[in-house]
Structure 1
Protein backbone atom coordinates (compact mmCIF):
# COMPACT_ATOMS: atom_id res chain seq x y z
CA UNK A 1 0.00 0.00 0.00
CA UNK A 2 1.12 3.51 -0.74
CA UNK A 3 -0.39 5.62 2.00
CA UNK A 4 0.59 9.28 1.87
CA UNK A 5 -0.21 12.28 4.01
CA UNK A 6 -3.37 13.99 2.79
CA UNK A 7 -4.17 16.38 5.65
CA UNK A 8 -3.84 17.02 9.36
CA UNK A 9 -6.55 15.90 11.77
CA UNK A 10 -6.89 19.56 12.79
CA UNK A 11 -7.83 20.52 9.20
CA UNK A 12 -11.22 18.76 9.42
CA UNK A 13 -14.53 20.42 10.31
CA UNK A 14 -17.75 18.52 10.88
CA UNK A 15 -20.20 18.94 8.02
CA UNK A 16 -17.54 19.94 5.49
CA UNK A 17 -15.11 18.22 3.16
CA UNK A 18 -11.53 18.99 2.22
CA UNK A 19 -10.18 18.83 -1.32
CA UNK A 20 -6.71 17.40 -1.95
CA UNK A 21 -4.87 16.03 -4.97
CA UNK A 22 -2.71 12.96 -4.44
CA UNK A 23 -0.73 11.49 -7.34
CA UNK A 24 -2.99 13.32 -9.78
CA UNK A 25 -6.23 12.04 -8.19
CA UNK A 26 -8.64 14.64 -6.80
CA UNK A 27 -9.94 13.40 -3.45
CA UNK A 28 -12.61 14.72 -1.08
CA UNK A 29 -11.82 14.01 2.58
CA UNK A 30 -14.43 14.03 5.32
CA UNK A 31 -14.84 13.15 8.99
CA UNK A 32 -18.10 11.78 10.40
CA UNK A 33 -18.56 10.52 13.97
CA UNK A 34 -14.79 10.32 14.45
CA UNK A 35 -14.20 8.26 11.28
CA UNK A 36 -12.26 9.56 8.29
CA UNK A 37 -13.22 8.96 4.67
CA UNK A 38 -11.70 9.58 1.23
CA UNK A 39 -13.83 9.62 -1.92
CA UNK A 40 -13.07 10.74 -5.46
CA UNK A 41 -13.79 14.44 -5.66
CA UNK A 42 -16.06 14.23 -8.69
CA UNK A 43 -19.78 13.59 -8.91
CA UNK A 44 -20.51 10.70 -11.27
CA UNK A 45 -23.52 12.57 -12.63
CA UNK A 46 -22.42 16.17 -13.11
CA UNK A 47 -18.61 15.92 -12.98
CA UNK A 48 -18.37 18.65 -10.33
CA UNK A 49 -16.35 18.70 -7.09
CA UNK A 50 -18.06 16.81 -4.27
CA UNK A 51 -15.80 18.60 -1.76
CA UNK A 52 -17.90 21.74 -2.26
CA UNK A 53 -21.00 20.00 -0.91
CA UNK A 54 -22.20 19.30 2.62
CA UNK A 55 -21.31 16.22 4.65
CA UNK A 56 -24.03 14.69 6.83
CA UNK A 57 -25.14 11.21 7.95
CA UNK A 58 -22.03 9.60 6.41
CA UNK A 59 -22.86 11.05 2.98
CA UNK A 60 -21.52 13.84 0.83
CA UNK A 61 -23.88 15.94 -1.27
CA UNK A 62 -23.18 17.20 -4.76
CA UNK A 63 -23.91 20.92 -4.61
CA UNK A 64 -24.96 21.08 -8.29
CA UNK A 65 -27.99 18.75 -8.35
CA UNK A 66 -28.37 17.35 -4.83
CA UNK A 67 -27.21 13.78 -5.41
CA UNK A 68 -25.63 12.26 -2.30
CA UNK A 69 -22.99 9.54 -2.06
CA UNK A 70 -22.27 7.19 0.83
CA UNK A 71 -18.78 8.03 2.12
CA UNK A 72 -18.14 4.36 2.99
CA UNK A 73 -19.14 2.77 -0.31
CA UNK A 74 -19.26 5.56 -2.89
CA UNK A 75 -22.77 4.45 -3.85
CA UNK A 76 -25.29 7.14 -4.79
CA UNK A 77 -28.11 7.50 -2.27
CA UNK A 78 -30.49 9.38 -4.55
CA UNK A 79 -30.93 10.64 -8.11
CA UNK A 80 -29.86 12.10 -10.36
CA UNK A 81 -26.60 10.15 -9.81
CA UNK A 82 -26.81 6.44 -10.60
CA UNK A 83 -23.11 5.44 -10.72
CA UNK A 84 -20.81 5.10 -7.69
CA UNK A 85 -17.58 7.02 -7.21
CA UNK A 86 -14.30 5.55 -6.00
CA UNK A 87 -13.53 5.37 -2.28
CA UNK A 88 -10.01 5.02 -0.91
CA UNK A 89 -8.41 3.51 2.20
CA UNK A 90 -7.69 5.96 5.02
CA UNK A 91 -5.64 5.65 8.17
CA UNK A 92 -4.72 8.07 10.91
CA UNK A 93 -1.12 8.24 12.10
CA UNK A 94 -0.83 10.61 15.04
CA UNK A 95 -2.00 13.99 13.79
CA UNK A 96 -1.87 13.01 10.11
CA UNK A 97 -4.60 11.56 7.89
CA UNK A 98 -3.14 9.24 5.26
CA UNK A 99 -4.81 8.05 2.05
CA UNK A 100 -3.87 5.35 -0.46
CA UNK A 101 -5.05 6.36 -3.95
CA UNK A 102 -3.34 3.40 -5.60
CA UNK A 103 -6.32 1.16 -4.78
CA UNK A 104 -10.02 1.62 -4.14
CA UNK A 105 -12.20 0.09 -1.45
CA UNK A 106 -15.15 -0.40 -3.79
CA UNK A 107 -13.45 -1.46 -7.03
CA UNK A 108 -14.50 1.69 -8.92
CA UNK A 109 -11.77 3.13 -11.13
CA UNK A 110 -10.73 6.59 -9.93
Structure 2
Protein backbone atom coordinates (compact mmCIF):
# COMPACT_ATOMS: atom_id res chain seq x y z
CA UNK A 1 0.00 0.00 0.00
CA UNK A 2 2.80 2.45 0.88
CA UNK A 3 5.39 0.96 -1.44
CA UNK A 4 5.51 3.86 -3.89
CA UNK A 5 4.81 6.90 -1.70
CA UNK A 6 5.94 8.67 1.46
CA UNK A 7 9.51 9.86 1.67
CA UNK A 8 10.43 9.82 -1.99
CA UNK A 9 12.80 12.73 -1.67
CA UNK A 10 13.51 12.63 2.05
CA UNK A 11 16.34 11.02 3.93
CA UNK A 12 16.13 7.26 4.08
CA UNK A 13 13.46 7.17 1.38
CA UNK A 14 14.95 4.05 -0.10
CA UNK A 15 15.62 5.48 -3.55
CA UNK A 16 19.02 5.44 -5.16
CA UNK A 17 20.92 8.60 -6.05
CA UNK A 18 19.79 8.39 -9.67
CA UNK A 19 16.13 8.85 -8.74
CA UNK A 20 14.54 11.94 -7.19
CA UNK A 21 17.43 14.37 -7.74
CA UNK A 22 19.81 12.62 -5.34
CA UNK A 23 22.67 13.00 -7.81
CA UNK A 24 23.02 16.72 -7.07
CA UNK A 25 23.98 16.02 -3.45
CA UNK A 26 26.65 13.59 -4.58
CA UNK A 27 28.03 16.16 -7.03
CA UNK A 28 28.13 18.82 -4.30
CA UNK A 29 29.97 16.42 -1.98
CA UNK A 30 32.52 15.62 -4.67
CA UNK A 31 33.02 19.31 -5.44
CA UNK A 32 33.51 20.09 -1.75
CA UNK A 33 35.97 17.21 -1.41
CA UNK A 34 37.92 18.34 -4.47
CA UNK A 35 38.06 21.89 -3.11
CA UNK A 36 39.19 20.65 0.32
CA UNK A 37 41.90 18.46 -1.19
CA UNK A 38 43.19 21.40 -3.24
CA UNK A 39 43.50 23.51 -0.08
CA UNK A 40 45.72 20.83 1.45
CA UNK A 41 48.48 21.74 -1.00
CA UNK A 42 48.65 25.24 0.54
CA UNK A 43 48.44 23.91 4.12
CA UNK A 44 51.68 23.47 6.06
CA UNK A 45 51.04 21.01 8.88
CA UNK A 46 52.91 21.10 12.19
CA UNK A 47 54.04 17.51 11.65
CA UNK A 48 56.51 17.42 8.72
CA UNK A 49 55.51 15.50 5.59
CA UNK A 50 58.63 13.35 5.80
CA UNK A 51 57.77 12.17 9.31
CA UNK A 52 54.21 11.30 8.31
CA UNK A 53 55.46 9.46 5.22
CA UNK A 54 57.96 7.55 7.36
CA UNK A 55 55.31 6.28 9.77
CA UNK A 56 52.83 5.59 6.99
CA UNK A 57 55.53 3.57 5.25
CA UNK A 58 56.30 1.63 8.42
CA UNK A 59 52.65 0.65 8.63
CA UNK A 60 52.73 -0.57 5.02
CA UNK A 61 50.87 2.36 3.48
CA UNK A 62 52.43 3.83 0.34
CA UNK A 63 50.78 6.76 -1.43
CA UNK A 64 52.52 9.24 -3.72
CA UNK A 65 49.74 11.82 -3.19
CA UNK A 66 51.04 14.59 -0.90
CA UNK A 67 47.48 15.74 -0.19
CA UNK A 68 46.69 12.46 1.54
CA UNK A 69 49.87 12.69 3.59
CA UNK A 70 48.89 16.18 4.71
CA UNK A 71 45.38 15.01 5.49
CA UNK A 72 46.83 12.35 7.81
CA UNK A 73 49.14 14.98 9.35
CA UNK A 74 46.19 17.29 9.99
CA UNK A 75 44.12 14.50 11.53
CA UNK A 76 47.05 13.50 13.74
CA UNK A 77 47.58 17.10 14.80
CA UNK A 78 43.88 17.43 15.68
CA UNK A 79 43.98 14.18 17.65
CA UNK A 80 47.01 15.26 19.67
CA UNK A 81 45.55 18.72 20.19
CA UNK A 82 42.33 17.21 21.57
CA UNK A 83 44.31 15.02 23.98
CA UNK A 84 46.34 18.01 25.19
CA UNK A 85 43.21 20.11 25.60
CA UNK A 86 41.41 17.39 27.57
CA UNK A 87 44.47 16.95 29.77
CA UNK A 88 44.64 20.67 30.47
CA UNK A 89 40.94 20.79 31.37
CA UNK A 90 41.40 17.84 33.70
CA UNK A 91 44.37 19.51 35.41
CA UNK A 92 42.42 22.74 35.84
CA UNK A 93 39.54 20.85 37.46
CA UNK A 94 41.94 19.08 39.84
CA UNK A 95 43.54 22.42 40.71
CA UNK A 96 40.17 24.06 41.34
CA UNK A 97 39.09 21.13 43.52
CA UNK A 98 42.34 21.38 45.50
CA UNK A 99 41.89 25.12 45.99
CA UNK A 100 38.33 24.60 47.15
CA UNK A 101 39.42 21.96 49.68
CA UNK A 102 42.26 24.24 50.84
CA UNK A 103 39.85 27.13 51.40
CA UNK A 104 37.44 24.87 53.29
CA UNK A 105 40.22 23.58 55.56
CA UNK A 106 41.53 27.12 56.11
CA UNK A 107 38.04 28.29 57.06
CA UNK A 108 37.62 25.32 59.40
CA UNK A 109 41.00 26.09 61.01
CA UNK A 110 40.04 29.76 61.42
CA UNK A 111 36.74 28.82 63.10
CA UNK A 112 38.50 26.48 65.51
CA UNK A 113 41.03 29.17 66.41
CA UNK A 114 38.26 31.69 67.10
CA UNK A 115 36.51 29.25 69.46
CA UNK A 116 39.62 28.73 71.54
TM-score (norm 2): 0.19
Which protein is richer in strand relative to its size?
1
Q: Which structure has more RCO (C-alpha within 8 Å, separation ≥ 6)?
A: 1
Richer in helix (by share): 2
Flag the structure with larger Rg.
2
